[in-house]
Amino acid sequence: MSYPHSAYFAASESDTSTLAEDIAGAIKTMLPAPSVIYLEGDLGAGKTTFSRYFIQSFGHEGTVKSPTYTLVEPYELEQVSIYHFDLYRLADPEELEFMGIRDYFSDNAVSLIEWAEKGEGCLASADIVISITTDGDGRRFQVQAKSAQGSKVLQHCKHI
């Protein structure tokens, strides 16, 4: 089955914020269905910046830090639980099983996963994959639905 995909160019951090808020708004309409988003890109591409704006659009007011050393940073918000994973330093995907990874992919939860390829075989399948590349001073986002849920999310987005 073929799912939709779209491109978005962010000339500034404000544009990245707009995209993150757009996708978050669409996911809010799908709750309590869980959503899994894989974020791909080189170091410094903007995965954590996208995640910060995404999480803040759900009402989080504190800082959003990269969970590089903790693997996951949970955000228990009023309407949803958001889990921000950064698997860059993951040595073995089995470590995810020991930390109870499957418990994170429950109803009313959104998972943002950076470096998902390092957890291959232990992660829930992505509903959306966002690939980020640098383009001059801006960022190019390739957003692809990977499930019926992801397709519905993209259909509700205004900017992609």
Token pair 């990245």 is at which residue?
Answer: 16
Give percent of the chain above pLDDT 70: 97
User: How many CB atoms sit inside 10 A of residue 99's CB?
Assistant: 12
Rounded to whole angstroms, the Cα distance separating 28 from 43 reads 29
At residue 159, the pLDDT reads: 79
Sheet order of strands, 109-114 included: 5-10, 138-145, 128-135, 35-40, 109-114, 81-86, 72-76
- In tens, the pLDDT along 5-22 reads 888 999 999 999 999 999
Q: What is the DSSP letter of 68?
A: T
The closest of 20, 27, 110, 24 to 72, measured between CA atoms, is: 110
- In tens, the pLDDT along 61-112 reads 888 877 766 789 999 998 899 999 999 989 888 888 888 888 899 889 999 9
- In tens, the pLDDT along 115-138 reads 999 998 899 999 999 999 999 989
Rounded to whole angstroms, the Cα distance separating 111 from 56 reads 14
- In tens, the pLDDT along 34-50 reads 999 999 999 889 999 99
At residue 36, the pLDDT reads: 97
Asked whether the predicted pLDDT for residue 23 surpasses 90, the reply is yes
* Helix-helix angle 47-56:13-28, to 10 degrees: 50
CA end-to-end distance (rounded Å), the chain? 20
Amino acid at 37: I
